[in-house]
Amino acid sequence: MQSGHSNELTEGIRVRVAAQLLPERSSPELGQYFFVYRVRISNEGKHPAKLLSRYWLITDADGKTEEVEGPGVVGDFPYLQAGESYEYMSGCPLGTEWGTMEGYFVFQREGNQRFQAKVGRFFLARTTAPITSLD
């Protein structure tokens, strides 16, 4: 995993994230930058868990923050058995050349036990390496 990426383990759920600038969807002259990020969620625990919702705190280079929360991820509510993983990609527009994202996913286990799987802070910045892998 490259520097600036996120890799957190919470109650058996590992969340890895990597991001990169998408130049073809950015217009620096207009102060518009578009980043894509890849998320891999792995159940390294012994019990299944279902993802219910997400929360993101996005901060630009000027310190302006935006909170984004909602049900599921990209329209999905993955149910992960022990040893299973789920991966998706999404995007984030930003008004500055760099910023950060962090947050959590809310999961539910059998018996309605809910917990937040942390997503550690990662950078939205120009990178030279594509985010083809989170290994």
CB 15 within 8 A of CB 118: yes
Domain extent at residue 107: 6-124
25 inside domain: yes
18 inside domain: yes
Would you state the pLDDT for residue 126? 84
21 inside domain: yes
State the 10-residue block means of pLDDT for the chain, 135 residues long. Answer: 77 96 95 96 97 98 97 97 97 96 97 96 80 61
Q: Residue 98 belongs to a domain with what CATH number?
A: 2.60.40.1470
